[in-house]
Chain A
Amino acid sequence: MDYAHAHPLIHIEDFRMQFGEKTVIDGLSFDVAPGETFGFLGSNGSGKTTTIRALLGIYRPTSGTLHINGKVFSDDYGARLGYLPEERGLYKKESVLDVMTYFGRLKGLSRQESQQFSRDYLDRVDLADKAEVRVDKLSGGQQQKIQLGVTIMNDPELLILDEPTKGFDPVNRRLLMDIIEDRKKAGATVMMVTHQMEEVERLCDRIVLLKDGRSEAYGTIDEVQNQFGGRTVRLKHSGTVPDSPDYTVTLRETNYSELALDDSVDEAEVLRRLVQAGVVVRGFVAAKRSLDDIFLQVYGEKAAVETGAK
């Protein structure tokens, strides 16, 4: 175990959360190492937002340990945190500059630093002329940009993003990705809740899959793919692919199929048996299973549709 993983920035151990009689989180444990980008995945209602709120002291856990930097979260750490909650909003009746300055001051910046950052940021996102405009006079997309600016205005060492792309238009989604990349380059730790598996595969070093308040899978993306029968074959062919104990056909189209391989069989053996069965193989690509497949397997098709995973 390297130093980073021996000294995690976020440490959650045996976390339980009950609301009345209902158990929402049941014995969840995972760590997030400093500098890594961590994906926190799960279907709607699986307990992701509850975990983040408990981690940030908004909810008090029923039991377990939730530490940031070795301590229970307190508002003192707020100066080093950038948090984009699932429920978003800003003070609507104030000017953009006043709102940004206020949050900058709360995050420990001086008035001058807050205003300087705000003006630079507004310039970067083409809203320089809106500094003195009331927030509720801005469009939804413009308000999202302000929200992102408030999230990162203290150059946070830890960025927690709860469904960051939810409701974002493509322009702001791109802006968010740029911000995450920037923060990663600056050495920040990023923990993100998302249903966008492409983003997870592209950005995240490690993930945890939460289902019904329990960890279903946890580790690097490779480790999770391996855990769920990691190998898959994408096959272009003529003829019908027969069923076999060596694999499961996860996608069957006229001239294209995807097979999830059994652990005991290698790709060459599968290819040989397909040819023996009379299938004309025109393309054969061995790959690991996508996170989308794994998400579908863990949560089922219905949950995947509800969460918008793709």
Chain B
Amino acid sequence: MARHNLGTVVHFEFTRTVKKRRFWIATLAIPILLAIVFGLVFASNSSTKSQADAQKHDKISFTYTDSSALVDPALAKAMGGTVEADPGTAVERVKAGTLNAYFSYPASPAKETVNVYGADQGIFKNGTYDAVAKQLLVLSAQEKVGSAELAAAVQGNFRSDTQTYKDGQLSGGLETVVPPLLFLVLFYVVIILLANQMLASTLEEKENRVTEMILTTLNPTTLVVGKVISLFLVGAVQALVFATPMVAGYVFFRDQMSMPDFDLSHLQFQFWPMLVGALLFVGGFILFTGVLVSIGAVMPTAKDASTVFAPVMIMMFIPFYIVTMVVSDPGNLIVQIFTFFPFTAPITAMLRNGFGSLGGPAAAVVIVELFVFGFAALRLAVHLFRYGSIEYSRKLSLRTAFARKG
């Protein structure tokens, strides 16, 4: 019966949420906004990139002087340049509009500035002068080196792959940090999306006066667990809807939107950090769900509940304010306190787990602590729902709730 009822509660709670128009308006609003932003970025980048490419290959007429002797006259000629015959008046002629552009290459372009003078063509097209002046010097230098490989090496245009070892095992670079931190992102998203619904989930029975009918047909534990599972499913749907445009944008329009080209094949999914990350996520989720449902069970209305809700959320996200310290100085007393204090533990421990500073014993303590406090909070939530929701329009006194003898 209990299992049948759990399925019934999950089905009812999940479908009633996803059937609501309001849910889809709220859920789709963010991806639509993202799609609009992506679209604008795409359009802007396409325009900027094509403009930059066009400017680089623009053929303009110019004169130049070259104290460095690096510029190849043949290349300069091909790009529309001629050697300036009268450098002393070149700038004045540009000012007067009788000369289109003049580039003055110093003896040492690495130490001194290349001066570029040109007739105004508007704020965007003026960039052409600078682009052509640089391009002429780069191509001339490459030609002098005489090897594309050497030219690339000189410019640092090569990739490298670093592997470091700790205790004989491959140790972390960014590729080992990112995967466990995905649980932190997931935790953040889930709590942000679902916190209000967690808070309101048990308030509804109270506000609608259905508590007694529910309590006589259904175990309160089944109801609370069913609501938590359905919330999780609703969160998964929302996360999927939010992630879809981002993933699609990255996969299909990465270049057009100038997104960084991550080589995801280098990400290392190490077993222990991933396991610890997953356990911290589940433990943290249970703890915060239990606490928020408990608040909902005690308070008579959503408005009353929201006053207690804010401090809990602040406690949860406060570790982000010391994130630098968490990463650079994990042994610091404040970081240690945040690691083991239940409400700050999930975020702090997940950060430290990602950056490899959460040792095995500390991880075990935090995980056990989160699960113990989490289940205690859920148990408390069930108890308070059983006795709190019957109070209907009054705030439940915790003393009264625990004074009832069995």
Interface residues of A (CB under 8 A from B): 19-20, 53, 56-60, 62, 73, 75-76, 78-79, 81, 83, 85, 87-94, 98, 102-103, 105-108, 150
Contacts and interface: CB of A to CB of B under 8 A. Distances in A.
B217 A103 contact: yes
B8 A91 contact: no
Given A105-B8, A106-B218, A76 B1 contact: yes
A58 B8 contact: no
A108 B1 contact: yes
Contacts of B213: 83, 85, 103, 150
A122 to B, nearest CB: 18
Interface stretch (B32-40, B109-117, B203-211, B327-335): B203-211
B84 to A, nearest CB: 80
17 contacts: A57-B215, A58-B215, A58-B216, A59-B390, A75-B2, A75-B5, A75-B217, A79-B1, A81-B216, A81-B217, A85-B213, A87-B209, A88-B209, A91-B210, A106-B8, A107-B217, A150-B213
Interface residues of B, number: 31
Given A20-B400, A92-B208, A102 B12 contact: yes
A134 B403 CA distance: 39
Given A59-B404, A85-B213, A106-B8, 4 more contacts: A19-B404, A76-B1, A90-B210, A150-B213
Contacts of A79: 1, 217
A83 B216 contact: yes
A75 B209 contact: no
Interface string B281-321: 00000000000000000000000000000000000000000
A217 to B, nearest CB: 27
Contacts of B405: 60, 62
Judged by DSSP, the binding face of A is loop
Contact of B212 (A20, A62, A75, A83): A83
A108 B9 CA distance: 13
Contact of A91 (B2, B208, B392): B208
A78 B8 CA distance: 15
A20 B216 contact: no
Contacts of A20: 400, 403
Contacts of B404: 19, 59-60
Contacts of B392: 87
A89 B217 contact: no
Residue of B12, B20, B204, B390 with highest tally of chain A CB at under 10 A: B12
Residue of B4, B217, B218, B403 with highest tally of chain A CB at under 10 A: B217
B3 interface: no
A150 B217 CA distance: 11
B387 to A, nearest CB: 8
B216 A75 contact: yes
B166 interface: no
B122 interface: no
Given A19-B400, A79-B1, A90 B208 contact: yes
Contacts of A93: 16, 20
